[in-house]
Structures are given as C-alpha cells and as structure tokens.
Structure 1
Amino acid sequence: MFEYLEITTPTPFQKASIPVIKSGANIFCTAPEGSGKTTTLILTTLQKLKCEEVGTAPRAIVLVENREKASEIYEAFLKYVRHHPLRLYLCDEKLHIDVIKSEVFEGVDILIATPKTLNKLFLLEGINTTQLQIFSMDDAAFLEQKVAHNTMMLLTQSIHKCQFVMYSEKMHPSLKRYESYFMQHARVISTK
C-alpha cells in the first residue's frame, strides 16, 4: 500500500505499538525521538479510517502543540494520503476561525489542530465529534499547559466512543492523570 515510501522494516517501537493500537485500546506510547512515533501515528490513523473518505465529520483528530508542529505533521501525512481519497485538513491559526469552521463543515476525515484552534472550533460548534474514531496527541508533553489541558477536558466530555492515543518521549506525571478521565484502562507501550 505504501511501497513508494520504501518502508521495509518496522522499528522496535512500531512492532510493540501498532498491534495494540489496532486493537482499539486507549494507549500511552512512549519512546525516544527517532523511534517511529509519527509514522506509527500516521499508519494507524490511516488503517483505522481504512483510507476511505466517509461523511463530513472528522473521524480522526491529531492534536499538536503549536502551528509549526501542525505543519510538520500535515506534511508527513501528505506523503501517505496523496494517492487516497482521504480528506486531510490543517487548522492553520493564521486563518480566521470562521474560515476554518466553514472549511471543516465542507467535510474532512483527518483534522490536525492545536489546542487553541480546536478549542475555538468546539466553542463555536464548528466541529462535530460524533463520528470520531481516533484522537491522537503527538508529543503529548504539551498537555501540561493549562490551555491544552482545559481543551482536552472540555472536548473529551463530548466524545462518547473514541480511541485515544498519546505519544510522548517519556511518561509525564501530568499525562497519567488523564487515566481518571478519558484514558480509562489505557495500556502503556514503552521502548527505550
């Protein structure tokens, strides 16, 4: 399916995490930089969505710390989705929130956003979470910040059935606290 990317051998982190993510469990994935976390996030998201365009509501959300990281993830996803009908959308903070809201309303499958933009979309009822299947947080240490934490708490209260996957370099105590909220019965996959 992705032969043109010349992915041949999974990393130890990918071998350990991909089967567990595919199982549908909530997961804390911790591994050092360069271990394949971003590729794992992309591949498991595409697998979950079966590389198909469906409906108008986002079925996957990727939450990142800032605009630069959002652009990086978007570019990484583009390499994988360019031959598939999936609709990938980057919530660019430079755009007015009403523009983002109307573009999301037109239909997206994968939404990449920062906590600030996602919070605005949610408060303006600009995002429908009823079809959400997977919610990933890349380099999740940023969830220690108050705005990011509050956004997660607000959003997750309206999401009823969804898989949550947090990726980080190490397990921060602030991430563990989410077990009492939306990461119940979460598995931990950790490689050094």
Structure 2
Amino acid sequence: MPFKKLHSDIQEKLEIQKISTPTPFQSKSIPVIKSGANLYALAPIDSGKTTTLILTTLQKLNFEPKGDSPRAMVLVENKEIALAMYDAFLKFTKNSGLRVYVGYDQLHIDVQKSEIYEGVDILISTPRTLKKLFLLNGVNTSQLQLFSLDNADFLSKSSSYDAFLTVTQSITKCQYVFYSEKTHSVLKRFKSSFMEHSKTISI
C-alpha cells in the first residue's frame, strides 16, 4: 500500500480527508516517483493525478520547511488551475509550516518576486510567470529537488514550451514528473535531454 510508506504526517492528513485506498494510478506511480526517477505519468481524468502530485511533493520535502529557495515547483497552464492547485495543497499543508506560494500572470511580478524572496518551499506557477521570475532573478533553482508539470499537454503551446525550456536550462539536477492524460509529441522531445532515462506509467 503506497500510502503506508509515506511520511507519518502525510498519512495523518490522508486520514483526516478520509482517503484510505490508493487508486490504481497511485499504486503504480507513487513508488516510482519516490524512487527518484524522472517519470511520464499518464492517466485519464479522475485517476488521482493531482493527489499523487501533492503527496509525492510533500514526501520529497520530508513534510518540513527548509531554507528560503523553492525545493519543489509545480507548473500549471493558467491562473484558475494554479489557484485550484494551491487550494488542494493547503488541505495537506495547513498548520504544517510548509510554505506554498502561487504565482500567475495577473499578479504584479515585483510583488511575486518580493514575496518569494521571503522564503518558499513549494512554488506553483504558470509558464509565463515562472519565466519572468527567472529572468528577473526572482526565483532561485539551486535547491530545487522536484519539478512537476500538471496536465503537461499545455506545453504544446509554443510560448509555454519556450518558457519551460528557459527555466530548465538553469537547473543542474532535479527530478521531473510530467502528468498528462496521454503521451504527446511535445513531451517526447525531452527524451533526448533531461528525460533520457525516464520511466513511463500509463493506465
């Protein structure tokens, strides 16, 4: 049971939310992500991808705040999804001390830059905003351990793809997990670079 092998504080949060049985996708994907492998995680809607993303992120960070720079990033398509992801994280991180921050295009970039400077463990952002933060030295990737992409099909848009590449070029070592409903040609492009030795899970 994947949940039984997660941090005890994560298990406690799962119990509060009455989540006791992993979905087939979670049973297959959580152990692979915990192993540290780069992964293409493919599954239809309502398979438990978002919860998997949250659980494995918290597990990677040992469910504790540390340092000032983001140790985990979650890239999403737009503001609405970013805010929904933030709310989903808060169900697990409230009162934990973990600092989750959400950035999006409609929020002034200087405000985001200054707030991130105060210290963030998990950064949720849209591609355009993350690129701006990076180019303005508003986000430090030196401590980054896990980079997750939610419904990564949005990378098929050239602007999102270019923004993602700009940021990844500054990352020396990091685990990448691409969540998607199905494989996409744009995702395969990374096979020749940082996803060369990645694994794929599909249900």
Q: Please, what TM-score do these two structures have when normalized by structure 1?
A: 0.98
Partner of 1:155: 167
Q: In 2, Cα distance between the equivalents of 1:54 and 1:163?
A: 18
Q: Unaligned stretches of 5+ in structure 2?
A: 1-11
Q: In 2, Cα distance between the equivalents of 1:85 and 1:93?
A: 26
User: Is 1:19 aligned to residue 49 of structure 2?
Assistant: no
Q: Give the 3-state SS of the residue equivalent to 2:164 in structure 1.
A: helix
User: Is 1:141 aligned to residue 158 of structure 2?
Assistant: no
Q: How many residues align?
A: 191
2:73 aligned to which of 31, 56, 61: 61
1:117 aligned to which of 129, 140, 150: 129
Q: Displacement of 1:157 after TM fit?
A: 1.1
Q: Unaligned stretches of 5+ in structure 1?
A: none
Query: Per-residue CA shift, 1:73-127, capped at 9, x if unaligned?
Result: 0111010101311000011322210110000011000000000100100010111
Query: Per-residue CA shift, 1:15-64, capped at 9, x if unaligned?
Result: 00000000000000000000000000000000000111100000000000
Q: Please, what TM-score do these two structures have when normalized by structure 2?
A: 0.92
Which amino acid is 2:152 matched to?
A
Q: In 2, Cα distance between the equivalents of 1:22 and 1:184?
A: 18
Determine if contact 2:78/2:104 at 8 Å carries over to the other structure. Answer: no
Q: Percent identity?
A: 59
User: Is 1:84 aligned to residue 96 of structure 2?
Assistant: yes
Q: Displacement of 1:71 after TM fit?
A: 0.7
Q: Give the 3-state SS of the residue equivalent to 1:148 in structure 2.
A: helix
RMSD, aligned α-carbons: 0.8
Q: In 2, Cα distance between the equivalents of 1:33 and 1:74?
A: 19
Determine if contact 1:135/1:162 at 8 Å carries over to the other structure. Answer: yes
Q: Give the 3-state SS of the residue equivalent to 2:66 in structure 1.
A: coil
Stretches of 4+ moved more than 6 A in 1? none
Q: In 1, Cα distance between the equivalents of 2:32 and 2:59?
A: 13
